[in-house]
Amino acid sequence: MKSLVCKVKGHRVNRRRVWHDKFDFRTNCDRCNASLIRDEVEGWREFDNDRDLLVDRMAHPKHA
């Protein structure tokens, strides 16, 4: 479920859940729970499977 607020204001980074997947920092949106990734250039943005799953990323430690 995408939040309308997120569409307008952008996602709300859940800083308590941030982890490093060996390549980038990751977390979820506090509001709509979308997967977020910290892009070196763009900053926090939504995780994009086509673009971001090309490398062997580590899952959140809680799922390990």
Residue with Cβ nearer Zn ion (11 or 56) = 11
11 makes contact with Zn ion (CB under 5 A): yes
Are 38 and 49 a contacting pair, CB within 8 Å?
no
Nearest to 3 by CA among 30, 22, 24: 30
Among 32, 38, 45, 60, binds Zn ion (CB under 5 A): 32
Nearest to 34 by CA among 51, 20, 57, 17: 17
Total number of residues binding Zn ion (CB under 5 A)? 6
Return residues touching Zn ion (CB under 5 A): 6, 11, 29, 31-32, 34
